[in-house]
Amino acid sequence: MAAMKTAVPQRLTFARGFTLTEMAVVLVIVALLITGLVIPFSAQQEIRSRQETERALADIREALMGYAASHAASDLKPYLPCPDTDDDGLENRSATPGPCTSQEGRIPWVDLGLGRRDAWNNRFRYRVTAAFSNSAVGFTLASAGTLTVCADSACAATIASNVPAVVLSHGANGAGAFNMSGGTNPAPAGADELENTDNDDTLVGRTPDAGFDDVVTWVPHAVLVNRMITTGKLP
Concatenated DSSP letters of 158-210: EEEEEESEEEEE-TTT-TT-BBTTSSBPPPPSSHHHHHTTS-SSEEE----BT
Tell me, yes or no, whether 12 lies in a domain.
Answer: no
Q: Looking at residue 127, what is its pLDDT?
A: 98
Tell me, yes or no, whether 235 lies in a domain.
Answer: no
Tell me, yes or no, whether 199 lies in a domain.
Answer: yes
Q: 226: how many CB neighbours lie within 10 A of its CB?
A: 13
Tell me, yes or no, whether 1 lies in a domain.
Answer: no
Classify residue 100 by its DSSP letter: B
Query: What are 87-94's contacts with CB under 8 Å, separation 24+?
Result: 87/123, 87/178, 87/182, 89/116, 93/135
Tell me, yes or no, whether 13 lies in a domain.
Answer: no
Give the chain's domain count: 1
Tell me, yes or no, whether 98 lies in a domain.
Answer: yes
- Sequence-distant (6+) residues with CB within 8 A of 97 are 73, 74, 134, 135, 136
- Sequence-distant (6+) residues with CB within 8 A of 202 are 147, 148, 150, 153, 155, 195
Q: What letter represents residue 67's amino acid? A: Y
CA distance readout (Å), 9 to 13, 14, 164, 191: 13, 16, 96, 84
Confidence of residue 1 (pLDDT cuts 50, 70, 90): very low
Query: CB–CB of 150/105 below 8 Å?
Result: no
Tell me the pLDDT tens digit for each residue of 46-88. 889 999 999 999 999 999 999 999 999 999 999 999 999 999 9
Instruction: Flag the least confident range among 5-14, 85-94, 190-199.
Output: 5-14
Query: What would the mean pLDDT of 119-125 be, rounded to a whole number?
Result: 97
What is the domain extent for residue 80?
Answer: 23-230
Tell me, yes or no, whether 6 lies in a domain.
Answer: no
Q: Looking at residue 13, what is its pLDDT?
A: 52
Tell me the pLDDT tens digit for each residue of 162-174. 999 999 999 999 9
pLDDT more than 70, % of the chain: 89
- pTM for the whole thing? 0.83
- Cross-strand partners of 149: 160, 203
CA distance readout (Å), 89 to 85, 105, 133: 9, 10, 17
- Sequence-distant (6+) residues with CB within 8 A of 53 are 118, 119, 120, 169, 171, 215
Tell me, yes or no, whether 129 lies in a domain.
Answer: yes
**Cα-only R_g, the chain:** 30
Query: What would the mean pLDDT of 227-231 be, rounded to a whole number?
Result: 97
